[in-house]
Amino acid sequence: MKFFYFLLPFFLLAAGLSAQSGIFLPEEMIVTASSLNLRDAPDKNAKKTGSLTQGAVVQVLETYNNGEYVQADTTDPESPYAPWLKVRYKNTTGWAFGAYLTGTMGLHYENEIMPEGENLPPLQWFGVYARDSFADEVRRVQVRIVSEFNEFYQSQVKVLKTNQADPSKFLVSSLQPIPTGYCGPLGKFEIGQMFFSPTLNPGGQLSIYPGNDVNDTISLPTYGLAATGCAALENTYVRVSDYQLRLIDFSAEPVRYQDLTPWVKPEAPDASPSVDLLWFGDLDRDGKADAIINDCPYEVGCRASLFLSSKARPGEYIRKACEHYWPGD
């Protein structure tokens, strides 16, 4: 059971990533292995073009075969699964095996189960906590992996813990420091408590905004998230078609939109989307709204995606920075 569980996320991701036309890859990744070879082709036997040490930051150029997960060594049953990635480090370009790279920013949750053999990335760690009834705050935290008995799997599993007594809302690992202190207006409230439902089904509309800290009276931009589409009953199943998720800039004249639909598109073309707003605030402290959006694009498994305004490209308001995969949800 234990062996199957730890392989399960890799098989699920392989099925999902290889089938999607637009997989998510961070623009930069960091080497987690003590050394990592670059090769001139996506094959462990291809000619070596360079070698990277732990902590080296690379730019991701492309994936092999649309990001399909493959086994590094098919003769070794313990060999990891990951995609081959074409990366650039300084003036060197080559193919690297993705099992030994991780994004320079990651979204995590306390007590999440870590795959066997996975080490914590060499990044700084921060947690978002309810500061009081009306505000969230960022804290610098220390994290560790501990072994705990899991009743569901009837075995010891590795889980992520922090050095804080308070429960965090979520954790972020980052190469660059994140400003500590105020980061949003939710506090002890949840989105469902404030807006009755965090679900972005067709017809749903929610607001996201950075909020204001105590004595801060500067007016900051508020955006809307609007979900549209057609829901119809097909026998015993409600099918949603023509789903669209858009961000609305209320202050623009005329009103401007950003299409977020590609980020929440289900793997199967006839599957109905399932999208929820988990959190909003100002994590990067640039005075603009950030958000965590959850969707379930795979047959088994969901993902929470962190969207940051500081990552936005021209014509965008927010852009996906990292994601957390929930196997089996």
SS3 5: helix
CB contact set of 73 (below 8 Å; sequence gap of 6+): 44, 79
Instruction: Measure the CA–CA gap between 118 and 100, rounded to whole angstroms.
Output: 10
Which band of pLDDT confidence, cut at 50, 70 and 90, is reported for residue 328?
low
Q: Most confidently modeled of 59-68, 112-121, 190-199? A: 59-68
* Residue 16 located in a structural domain: no
Residue 161 β-bridge partners: 144
Q: How far is CA 150 from CA 1, 45, 107, 171, in A?
A: 12, 39, 23, 22
Cα separations (Å) of 288 from 17, 193, 200, 283?
A: 31, 23, 21, 9
What is the SS3 assignment for 261?
A: helix
Q: How far apart are CA 293 and CA 130, in angstroms?
A: 19
95 found inside a domain: yes
Q: What is the mean pLDDT of residues 225-231?
A: 95
Integer-rounded Cα radius of gyration of the chain: 21
Q: If residue 19 lies in a helix (H) or strand (E), which one and from where to where?
A: helix 2-19
**94 and 208 inside one domain:** no
Strand partners, 92: 89
Per mean pLDDT, which range of 22-26, 149-153, 232-236 is the poorest? 22-26
Contact, 63 vs 70, CB < 8 A? no
Q: Which domain covers residue 202, as residue numbers? A: 194-326
pLDDT band at 268 (very low <50, low <70, confident <90, very high): confident
**Count of domains for the chain:** 2
Read off the CATH number of the domain in which 57 is found.
Answer: 2.30.30.40
pLDDT in tens, 54-84: 999 999 999 998 888 898 888 888 888 889 9
The answer to whether residue 63 sits within a structural domain is yes
Domain annotation covers residue 86: yes
**What distance in Å separates the CA atoms of residue 154 and residue 174, rounded to the nearest whole number?**
33
Do 198 and 322 fall into the same domain? yes
Residues 34 and 199: their CA atoms lie apart, in Å, by 43
Q: Where does a domain end: 102, 125, 155?
A: 102
Q: Are residues 203 and 89 in the same domain?
A: no
20 — pLDDT class (breaks 50, 70, 90): very low
Same domain, 97 and 202: no
Residues 97 and 200 in one domain: no
